[in-house]
Structure 1
Amino acid sequence: MEEANQEILLGSLFETGPRPGIRHITIGSFDGVHRGHQEVLSRLLALPPGPKACGVVTFEPHPLTVICPERSPPRLTTPAQKVRLLAASGAALVFVVRFDRKLSELSPEAFFEWVVRIFPHLQTVVVGQDFRFGRDAAGDVGRLREIGTRMDFAVRIVPPLLDNGSRVASSRIRQAIRERRFDDAERWLGRSYAVVGQVAPGEGIGRRIGTPTANLTDIAQLLPPEGVYACRARIPEEFPAVANYGRRPTLGSGSSPRLEVHLLGFAGDLDRREIEVSHWHFLREEKRFASLEELRAQIAADVVEARNHFALAR
């Protein structure tokens, strides 16, 4: 994840040494690293002398996971995805701050006292209009400007990025995914929505009926509604695929939904490998079939439809 002269730092705000080369920073959760976040990053990196003096400060886990778990939103990016996307901006430093109860108790002023200890030559803080910080989210952009005046750094506020008159926001992207509006989610993210999971051993039923599937577990991100989808699967090679997210009613597999992916044109062992599933396209609702033979026929039709969707030769 590191480029030349680029540092990826994971650690505590209270234990991190100074980074005197960083003059300009942005701070936020950046879940999704969507186009609104990208606009903030662009404004940051445009400050002289450019990316070599810029740092991105983000948090893991999401602060609400610690402060109010029941309000914590489902993730759009894994920690690794988020760091990779932030690092791709070209900033000299991506600092992933461990968010814990101690950090959550800092007042807005105390939080920035620690920030300027780490960045002693801080000149500019660039944030979005709705930036909040400090205990009970007591700090807003007005308070940040006051702190900046006292601590001798400038504050630049980036207005919301609008699309058709509405702001691009993580909450809108989550809603689009919940409603299978993947084109909207892709437009607001600036890329296809991608979910990451690890392959776990299954019962081998898919292989027995001619369509071996990878059973994905440890998924920490928002999944679309249950159903059957054409998609792409990266392992890291990319394959067109058919995904089933649901309860497998024909097989009587229980009440907990699972994500299974059948990679088209792949032959090999996927056990314990990580797969990234993206380019979602809804094919049909999940349904119960009278027999495995009917299920096999429907899966074959799903594969044909997926191939057609991705304009592949049959």
Structure 2
Amino acid sequence: MCCPYPKFRAFDGSRGRSKPADRDAMEEANQEILLGSLFETGPRPGIRHITIGSFDGVHRGHQEVLSRLLALPPGPKACGVVTFEPHPLTVICPERSPPRLTTPAQKVRLLAASGAALVFVVRFDRKLSELSPEAFFEWVVRIFPHLQTVVVGQDFRFGRDAAGDVGRLREIGTRMDFAVRIVPPLLDNGSRVASSRIRQAIRERRFDDAERWLGRSYAVVGQVAPGEGIGRRIGTPTANLTDIAQLLPPEGVYACRARIPEEFPAVANYGRRPTLGSGSSPRLEVHLLGFAGDLDRREIEVSHWHFLREEKRFASLEELRAQIAADVVEARNHFALAR
């Protein structure tokens, strides 16, 4: 994988055979990335403190929860992060499942970067969704037999029909002998930092707000697929990105940065290519400035979005070529000023 997010292979969670692609770095940091079933994973007795959540976006509110977790003694070596794939709503109520802010690999990489000794990605399925709040934590304490603390956000919900809240979690903690620490929402200008708020900012092209709440630039990952070669014929070869699982901004033309893993300034067009009559389905195409080479089947991460203009129909390919050249100049100027 070209971007700095690990890929994983399937494994038997009961035996703990999980290794990220960058295994040397993870082993040096004494970290474990674990993917598997809640019902089949063996004990992790070294983990005393955990946090649990979907963590889509791993935004600054999530980062505050992680910070509180890692501050517990004896520190990160005793801390674990429990998250779910796919997003629980994808199983429980697909029509309500929100568009993703991070791919699974992005999310795991960001969670691992916190320094926690364990990132446990639990396979969320129908069986798991049917557990009562109490039954869910009975399985949790089997995996973490020395559990001392659960750290969660104020709006944490768990168990069948989201019946468990922080009050019920405290009751369960009293019975199962672990403490519960509730982290209040992180506020920005009086409003809570939340994944839903970040999604709205991206839909409205408020990329500065999204970046402030994420703590980094919003980044979309896609794989390059063969195109029709029109961009190359008019002097601006583009990478046609497919397999995008994340929220995209509104259709239009953007200055951006593209990582492959080297980073290049770029111009992205997300739309229906009306001048070319290419159909009704929008596609994301990226022209990397200063890149020469073959991008076919490679993975590209697109970030640092800056809106340039709406997509429009031109009377000829010559007019389109001239506008693209102007877009490239504007993108270069934007990134020169942003330094």
SS of the counterpart of 1:311? helix
Distance 1:144 1:88, change over 3 A: same
Deviation at 1:61, TM superposition (A): 0.1
Deviation at 1:261, TM superposition (A): 0.1
Q: Structure 1 residue runs of 4+, over 6 Å off?
A: none
Q: Provide the C-alpha distance between the structure 2 equivalents of 1:135 and 1:46, rounded to a whole number of angstroms.
A: 31
Deviation at 1:230, TM superposition (A): 0.1
Q: TM-score of the superposition, structure 2-length normalised?
A: 0.92
Structure 1 unmatched ranges of 5 or more: none
CA deviation digits over 1:66-123, x for unaligned, max 9? 0000000000000000000000000000000000000000000000000000000000
* 1:127 and 2:152 matched: yes
Residue number in structure 2 paired with 1:236 = 261
Deviation at 1:2, TM superposition (A): 5.6
Q: Is the 8 A contact 1:2 1:8 kept in 2?
A: no
Deviation at 1:163, TM superposition (A): 0.1
Q: Provide the C-alpha distance between the structure 2 equivalents of 1:125 and 1:292, rounded to a whole number of angstroms.
A: 60
Deviation at 1:135, TM superposition (A): 0.2
Q: Provide the C-alpha distance between the structure 2 equivalents of 1:143 and 1:51, rounded to a whole number of angstroms.
A: 27
Distance 1:3 1:35, change over 3 A: farther
Task: Pick from 100, 120, 139 the counterpart of residue 75 of structure 1.
Answer: 100
Residue number in structure 2 paired with 1:148 = 173
Q: Is the 8 A contact 1:229 1:284 kept in 2?
A: yes
CA deviation digits over 1:21-74, x for unaligned, max 9? 000000000000000000000000000000000000000000000000000000
Q: Is the 8 A contact 1:233 1:240 kept in 2?
A: yes
Residue number in structure 1 paired with 2:10 = none
Q: Is the 8 A contact 1:34 1:190 kept in 2?
A: yes
Q: Provide the C-alpha distance between the structure 1 equivalents of 2:65 and 2:28, rounded to a whole number of angstroms.
A: 21
Distance 1:252 1:135, change over 3 A: same
Deviation at 1:3, TM superposition (A): 4.7
Distance 1:3 1:105, change over 3 A: farther
Q: Provide the C-alpha distance between the structure 2 equivalents of 1:21 and 1:191, rounded to a whole number of angstroms.
A: 32
SS of the counterpart of 1:192? coil
Q: Is the 8 A contact 1:27 1:56 kept in 2?
A: yes
Residue number in structure 1 paired with 2:329 = 304
Residue number in structure 2 paired with 1:171 = 196
Q: Provide the C-alpha distance between the structure 2 equivalents of 1:225 and 1:141, rounded to a whole number of angstroms.
A: 37
Q: What fraction of aligned residue pairs are identical, expressed as a percent?
A: 100
Task: Pick from 100, 124, 136 the counterpart of residue 99 of structure 1.
Answer: 124
CA deviation digits over 1:113-143, x for unaligned, max 9? 0000000000000000000000000000000
Q: Is the 8 A contact 1:307 1:313 kept in 2?
A: no
SS of the counterpart of 1:160? coil
Q: Provide the C-alpha distance between the structure 2 equivalents of 1:98 and 1:238, rounded to a whole number of angstroms.
A: 33
Distance 1:277 1:155, change over 3 A: same
SS of the counterpart of 1:312? helix
Distance 1:291 1:235, change over 3 A: same
Superposition CA RMSD, Å: 1.3
CA deviation digits over 1:143-193, x for unaligned, max 9? 000000000000000000000000000000000000000000000000000
Q: Provide the C-alpha distance between the structure 1 equivalents of 2:118 and 2:239, rounded to a whole number of angstroms.
A: 36
Q: Provide the C-alpha distance between the structure 1 equivalents of 2:199 and 2:29, rounded to a whole number of angstroms.
A: 34
Deviation at 1:4, TM superposition (A): 2.5
Residue number in structure 2 paired with 1:64 = 89
CA deviation digits over 1:244-276, x for unaligned, max 9? 000000000000000000000000000000000
Deviation at 1:312, TM superposition (A): 7.8
Q: Provide the C-alpha distance between the structure 1 equivalents of 2:215 and 2:28, rounded to a whole number of angstroms.
A: 22
Residue number in structure 2 paired with 1:19 = 44
Q: TM-score of the superposition, structure 1-length normalised?
A: 0.99
Residue number in structure 2 paired with 1:28 = 53
Q: Residues 1-314 of structure 1: matches in 2 within 5 Å? A: 3-311=28-336
Q: Provide the C-alpha distance between the structure 1 equivalents of 2:29 and 2:324, rounded to a whole number of angstroms.
A: 47
Q: Is the 8 A contact 1:2 1:87 kept in 2?
A: no
SS of the counterpart of 2:156? coil
Q: Provide the C-alpha distance between the structure 2 equivalents of 1:235 and 1:305, rounded to a whole number of angstroms.
A: 22
Q: Provide the C-alpha distance between the structure 2 equivalents of 1:80 and 1:269, rounded to a whole number of angstroms.
A: 24
Q: Is the 8 A contact 1:55 1:93 kept in 2?
A: yes
CA deviation digits over 1:270-289, x for unaligned, max 9? 00000000000000000000
SS of the counterpart of 2:169? helix
Q: Provide the C-alpha distance between the structure 1 equivalents of 2:338 and 2:204, rounded to a whole number of angstroms.
A: 30
Residues paired across the two proteins, number: 314
